[in-house]
Amino acid sequence: MTFEWLASGQTPQTCWVSTVENATGLPNVQYTRPARATEVAGGDLVMLSLQRALVAYSVPQRRVAWRFAWQPLAEVMADGDVYSYPIRQDGASPLALDEAAGLAYLGAGDRVLYALDLATGRPRWSWRSTQTFESVVAGGGRVFVSTEDYRQVGLDGASGQLAWQLQFRRLSSPQTGVFEDVMVRPDQNGGIWGINATTGKVLWLTYLPRRQAIVNFFDDMPYDPATGRVFISDDAGYLYALQLRTGVLAWEADVASRQSIQRVGHVAAARGRVIAVSSVNIVVEAAGVSARAFNASTGEVLWEQSGLGGSCGPGGMQALPQRDVVLMGLLAAWGGESAPIQYVATDDATGANLWSLPMGGRICSSPPQYLPGSDLLMFTTLSVDRTALELTFLPSVLGATCPQRPDAGAGPGALPTPPAPPLAPPAPPLPPQEHTGPDYCWRAQLSQLPLADPATDGERVYAQDNRGMAIAADVRTGAVAWKSAACGSDSIWPGSPLVWGGVVYMICATSRVLALNATTGRLLWRTRAICQEPTVKPGRTCTGYGSYGHPALSPGLGLVYFGGPDRSYYAFNSTTGEEVWNYYEGNGMVTYSSGVGLHEGLLYAMMNTNSEDAMKLLALNATDGTLVWSRPAGGGARDNGVLEFVNGTLAVGTSDGQLRLYSVGLDGGDVIWSMPVTNVPIYGVERDGDTLFFGDDGGWVRAVSISNTSVLWEVSTMDLPELEGVPIPFNEIEPRPVYSQGRLYVTCRAGLLVMDAATGAVLWAELSQRSLASPLVIERPEGAQAVIGQYLDKLVSISPNCNPTGRGENTLSFAASTAQLRVSLGLNGVSAKALRADTKAQAALAAAVDRVAVGSGVRVEVEAVSSSGGESSSSSSAGAVVVRLRVEVQGSSSRRVADVVAALEASVLEDRSASGGGGSKVHLSPMQSALVVSAGASGRQVLASARVRVLVVRAATF
């Protein structure tokens, strides 16, 4: 599709184009960001942050002034492979400038923050992080970094000395900002924090109305100094204006909620206006993106353009108040092999297009820059063949002349080019660490995004992430036995590993299938890349999602089976890796989400149509791959986890909310039982005898009786008191739940929920971070060990021996000496109606909370009593009463406020051992003990059977 209007208007003169980096400096680059322009060092200097270098380009000299390079953080792994750890998820190394100090602050890919002299590129100081940088911003003589371990750090800009640091519970958005001594830190679960940039004390916390994630990769947070407002967008497609000093929401606007990609593509602010561009799915929305300008004070729409083509990526827009224009990079057409782009200049007051500059098949790489010293505009793009980084310069005003070339005397020696620092050799493997914590309580470090289910052979736990790292950790201590980089690096969904007979089998994000020695991690064999040219089979097309199903293995046949991302099923010799057979259904079906299962000589698999609204259940001969039968049906089948065969049947959940039982065997494939349950997708089904357990896209967990075709119990996880204050807008449950010895282990956006399989009651929860793969459950005498892949880069083992983390650690201090906290106390065994009518019982509850708050100067009041499951279920084992209290910490230091928060949160964490199973001794938590004392002293019968379920603390005011 082509957008003719983009070619309208005048075309500005191009002054020159410089190639500043060739393919050797652009490994795996899609976008080169960020770019910054400054007038230091005798004229316009443009800073370009690459994946492995920072390049400074001198505009007056039309050449690179200096180049600072680093070596990515690397580790030698099994087989001697050198693994380079990835940088931020979008491939950018954050960059901030302090022009007054003459410094550039670079969060480099080697996890070092460098302060570089803008004139020479020489380091002034450096600060090392243990994790990747999410953002780097500077202001007021300080530089502020957020890292992937949820830390926010303030450093002195001149020396690098630590000024303050805070530990948060959720990952920062890559886009942060600092304005007028206030640092604004959105997190990826919907909260926005205002922090005093000098002291590090929290000024305010605001949750956006929809509690959506905030994951913005724009280079700069928009700010309007005239109104004192910052502008932030969420993953629901809304734009929000917040008061910088207070965090109060001034207005909101719907930019992209009705589009298939509910995300704001770009936001910029200038001259009392805010301009927002939507995102677009070019397959679904042929009309293209839209742009709107809003009044920064009121949110009133000033002008709107629609049908603009496609967004140009992170380099798509820049507001230039110096010239009263907005520059937008847009795709002018799509549907062919290339997507030509144009830059369009739009009047920021009226929305009228002033001019456009066609750029052919290049890729927008960084936001356009205005260069005040030379009065030029600069566009940064990747070349058509993707091998070079190009800078295009043109006058900022139509009809203006280009500057003259520099004098011949200003040659290569005119500007100093410091030598790049010596590249350190790859780091040796990390030495084994002595285990000091309780048994079966540990964390192991992965690279990024552990999206595959872990596996075990009883001695080690095996996992892989979607950045090409596989790991084996001791099942008791978590000590890393080995790491492997045999997969190679990629970013699509990997399959779950299978371990058998001392060998680990897996399909990688690179679409290679491989086998590793389970003891050493050494590569035994590796196939071709199924979906990487030139090894794709002729006529096949590949999907972009990898292969996140589960494999199967036949020891008798010596074959291991996988569903491949090229719409095929494969059998490989488990000893040699030789391809034995391949079944191909055609390009109209996809197999990437299909686990395979082996039963009585047949291999079973589920395929989806490309639109995922229909499926096929296949039975293949496990020996030669010939089709035994194929059964099409409505409703797509998402990843159903490990396929389980019970009494000659296979349970399947569908994308249209149905449960089905299929017969298996040579004459199988018939639907022998079905039940519509919901109208949203069911991703995975777990079975125990007559009961099916499953979660769905709406956040419900259900148990269904097959024989009675009825729901035994259902729980809306969003209504659970355990999720009070967890900033997630919805809790879709994609991984298959795991049943073990009367318990159901459910991983979801909120984290891990462990439920009573008979009632749905939550026994305990680990909500410090989301988990996007099914858990591994290992039963032990003292209670079950659960191993989960935890966002963003951890493999975590939890057992009843562990000191529970609950919702994660924090080390926040507050700017005010008096704070109001909101406490939500979840109780079982209480009637909400009776408690609501009994003010003395409410007073006893408040006294119990006051008792655990530690010390004097705390005032507690009950504000409301409600039931999370409706009045009829308030006293059932699965239901809960939620009591909301206001806790005021008076006349105290900020440290005192933090101590009260910590005491309240810790007051319920010790209660997990009460549900440890195996006859473990029951220990009352401090909150439960305080409730028993208060209930006894007050003599209130309504609290006689009250059981503390959860306690959540949230800040109200600071």
| For residue 416, pLDDT beyond 70 | no
957 pLDDT more than 80: no
pLDDT of 912 higher than 50: no
Closest CA to 904 of 853, 947, 858, 860: 853
Q: What percent of the chain has a predicted confidence (pLDDT) above 90?
A: 41
Q: What is the pLDDT of residues 794-810, one digit of tens each?
A: 899 998 778 655 555 56
Strand partners, 461: 456, 473
The more confident residue out of 876 and 368 is: 368
| pLDDT top residue among 295 and 205 | 295
Q: Mean of the pLDDT values across residues 676-688?
A: 91
- Whether omega before 792 lies within 30 degrees of 0, making that bond cis, reads yes
Model pLDDT, residue 955: 64
pTM over 0.85: no
The residue-averaged pLDDT of 48-62 equals 88
Residue 293 has pLDDT above 80, yes or no: yes
Residues 499 and 493: their CA atoms lie apart, in Å, by 19
- Enter the CATH code of domain 442-798: 2.130.10.10
Residue 879 scores a pLDDT above 70: no
Report whether pLDDT(409) > 50: no
Percent of the chain with pLDDT over 70: 83
Cis geometry, peptide bond prior to residue 34 (ω within 30 degrees of 0)? yes
Looking at residue 287, its pLDDT comes to 60
pLDDT for the residue 424: 41
Q: What's the token pair of residue 529?
A: 């890349």
Q: Where are the domains of the chain?
A: 442-798, 822-864+883-888+928-957
C-alpha–C-alpha distance, residues 471 and 486, integer Å: 11
> Is pLDDT above 60 for 184?
yes
**274-283, 878-887, 915-924: lowest mean pLDDT where?**
915-924
**Predicted pLDDT of residue 504:** 98
pLDDT tens digits, residue range 527-557? Answer: 998 888 888 898 888 876 677 788 999 999 9
For residue 336, pLDDT over 60 is answered with no
Which range is most confident: 606-615, 724-733, 894-903?
606-615
Distance (Å, whole) CA 696 – CA 432: 41
Cα–Cα distance measured from residue 608 to residue 775, given in angstroms and rounded to the nearest whole number = 25
Nearest to 223 by CA among 273, 166, 187: 273
Is it the case that residue 27 has pLDDT exceeding 90?
no
The Cα–Cα gap between 6 and 332 comes to: 7
Residue 478: CB atoms within 10 Å: 22
Residues with Cβ within 8 Å of 89's Cβ and at least 6 positions away in sequence, in order, are 174, 448
Q: Give yes or no for residue 294 having a pLDDT over 50.
A: yes
Q: What is the pLDDT of residue 723?
A: 79
**pLDDT greater at residue 637 or residue 946:** 946
**Ramachandran class of 751: left when φ > 0, alpha when ψ lies in -120 to 50, beta otherwise:** left
Measured distance CA(293)–CA(302) in Å, rounded: 5
- DSSP-derived letter for residue 430 is P
Question: Does the pLDDT value for residue 42 go beyond 70?
Answer: no
Report residue 577 as tokens. 């890796």
Confidence of residue 490 (pLDDT cuts 50, 70, 90): low
pLDDT range class, residue 263, cuts 50, 70, 90 = confident
Tokens matching residue 13: 């003169």
Query: What is the rounded distance in angstroms from the CA atom of residue 762 to the CA atom of residue 883?
Result: 17
